[in-house]
Chains A and B, each alone.
Chain A
């Protein structure tokens, strides 16, 4: 599940468009809750959008440090950007799915753009 969360964050950024490969300059600690793992995934991605849009950060690397089905803690390496580079407005619960596949877990998330 930790790998799924980290990869989902990278996938969301890839959908959002290309970003420069500059190194991070700061670290943010975040904590997210959810009623189940699907909620946790949506809330995690929304928290990243919040950091990027409101604090004008680019989240460069993601490290899940604690995780269960209802709660996670993570360390995110960031750098400043101005203006905000994200075009995504929200992460939705619409047709949200996490599936077991032979390689592990696969998720489908619909973004509001």
Chain B
């Protein structure tokens, strides 16, 4: 079976709050020193899903990453984790595409890869949080799409998916091939090991740019970003201070009672 995983490089969503700064003029986040970019969290869950399915059903896992000036060590972590080959789509034209344009470029690259059984990606990217690309990709490829999966089984040409809903979960079936977006409830990506890193060095990495994909210029973004800013929060917290934490706990109860909250 052929599993395709789409992984996106993002600025670390877990960077300390003090390092998050925005360049309002250029409408972008300023990358901070000493904080490397990472593979988007939910994409790592998707990669874990692909690797688990490969362990059960055999086949290969192809990782695809799209962007501009991608960090090869960061993206190649997918190979160290166990993916079999990697396709890097790196081009200045790819830098500011929206999810729909991204989906179209990914779809073009995927059709060039030949046959596939399942495309996996994260439910949303850990930077822009839109959650659009997976579904848009399914529309581009005209295949079904199941979102926020936390468990996937494959049987007789079908994907049987347990997906998260508000008060529990749903079980949905889809014919293959299809797109499945994966949620963090699926489980974390396995730890990287030294043998994994050594094997990764021998795995094939292909690179394509926009022209080679026949998509130069890329599709225009459907919405226009007008402003990116950090909202100012005006809330002053009343800190309850006492000599000991135990006394502070009691004082807190009394204060809330005085204010009619308890």
Please say whether chains A and B are actual partners in one complex: no
Chain A interface residues (CB < 8 Å from chain B): none
